[in-house]
Amino acid sequence: MRTIDILKNTLYFGGQNTVELACEFRTPLYVYNESIIKNRIENINQQFINKYNNVDVFYASKAFLNLEMAKIINESNLGIDVASMGELFIALKGGFNPKRIMMHGNNKSIEELTYAIDNNVGRIVVDNYNELITIERIAKKSRKIVKVLIRISPMLSTINTHKNISTGQADSKFGISLEQSDIDKVFRFGIDSSHIEIKGIHFHVGSQIHLNQNVVDAINITFELIDYLKSKFNFVCKELDVGGGFGIYYTKCDKVKPIEYFLDAIHKTVSKNIEKYNLLLPKIIIEPGRYIVGEAAITLYTVGAVKKISNIRNYAAVDGGMTDNLRVALYQAKYDVMVANKASLDCAETYTIVGKACESTDKMFEDVLLPKLEYGDILAVFSTGAYENSLSNNFNKILKPATILIRNDKPFVIQKREKLEDLIKNDISL
């Protein structure tokens, strides 16, 4: 659901003339369409919250987070998962009830854990044994009981996504392995602690997943563990968080499935395992992030230098690149692109679109067919709502773009463009 139109050779997004947006707010420019975000949330409500009992949804804020986004999610009655003290800070400032916040992270510092516990977050997802010990110490000092989920690695052999965004394999930096000695040590400590309450188990198989079998396999493996924990420790799993990672559309190569393809399979698989092992139904939690915001945004760029190397390649450089979209360099992400001011023209020439960073890997598109490019043309890159803003950086001291939100057919700035002074605001000259 991109809500795009082409009128008089110009691309419109969310009812807005993208060329005019580029002129008014300058480029690079992140453009979010609130109606798409809310449509995705409503779809999750219909296909999960309203459809099944004892379920919950936490927005994976690492996909995109600022104060306005936190407000949108909070007003939608979703919970939010955070993976750092910074994300937690923004969630709290955005009005979230701490009980609706879930704290993630594979190497949480003492400072982060203390901040989370002091602010009474609803759940801390424990990644390793040492973290559990630290939580117990902080909670004991604070005279609190901390509710946690234990993150496991389901140790799947094959996961249908890029290796750099796969998290459920045996060789993963996330979660506790299924080795019996590791599992026993963690659960024995947590169960015996008077300051920790283990509510359940968490796993996440990866991002941009297009096959529900990956999640189904992980659920089956997890219920084997749940059954073992019941017999070994008389442990009752009250919550099962199956993560997110549901795939979205970037290019025609993505075989996108409707959200119910995943959610129905999750519920069906859980139900089968409940019956198989004669267990109580735990609350089932999902953590969509990319699904909610990925297709809700485009990024606009202005074409600068155009270079033609005879019999080799045509280069076109834009005023952004790996500083505002690091996904291409990180895991060769693919996107659809359009010339916003030549949206109806035939694609007649092949270009490699590069960024302005002083780095050879700063290539956004290789050999893409477009109308003839000229200095000042506006490029629109689609499905840039998830992780592009979150991963933006100041390499070469390039300023981070502005972010606007289209709400009720009007554009609003929700993140200001950086200024030169922002680059040195934390510097100390001796």
pLDDT in tens, 209-229: 999 998 999 999 999 999 999
Going by the DSSP 8-state scheme, the letter that residue 231 receives in this structure is H
Residues 78 and 293: their CA atoms lie apart, in Å, by: 14
pTM passes above 0.85: yes
Q: pLDDT digits over 293-339, tens only?
A: 999 999 999 999 999 998 889 999 999 999 999 999 988 899 999 99
Residues 22 and 31: their CA atoms lie apart, in Å, by: 10
Residues 279 and 81: their CA atoms lie apart, in Å, by: 27
For residue 207, pLDDT over 90 is answered with no
Q: How confident is the model at residue 366 (pLDDT cuts 50, 70, 90)?
A: very high
Looking only at the bridges linking them, the beta strands covering 337-339 and 313-318 are unpaired
**Domain ranges across the chain:** 4-32+294-424, 34-293
Dump strand ranges (E) for 310-345.
Answer: 313-318, 337-339
Q: How confident is the model at residue 282 (pLDDT cuts 50, 70, 90)?
A: very high
Residues catalogued as catalytic: 358
- CATH among 3.30.230.10, 3.40.50.970, 3.20.20.10, 3.30.565.10 for 34-293: 3.20.20.10
Residue 1 is predicted with a pLDDT of 47
Residue 2 is predicted with a pLDDT of 54
Q: Which amino acid is at 385?
A: G
For 4-32+294-424, which CATH class?
A: mainly beta
Q: pLDDT digits over 140-195, tens only?
A: 999 999 999 999 988 675 444 444 434 444 555 668 988 888 999 999 999 999 99
Joined tokens for residue 38: 């809310």
Neighbours of 115 (CB within 10 A): 18
Residues 280 and 299: their CA atoms lie apart, in Å, by: 46
Going by the DSSP 8-state scheme, the letter that residue 58 receives in this structure is E
Backbone angles phi, psi at 163, to 5 degrees: -60, -30
Taking residues 237-259, report their average pLDDT: 95
Q: pLDDT digits over 46-73, tens only?
A: 999 999 999 999 999 999 999 999 999 9
326-363 residues labelled b (16+ CB within 10 A) or e (exposed): bbbbeeebbbbbbbbbbbeeeeeeebbbbbbbeeeebb
Q: Which amino acid is at 330?
A: L
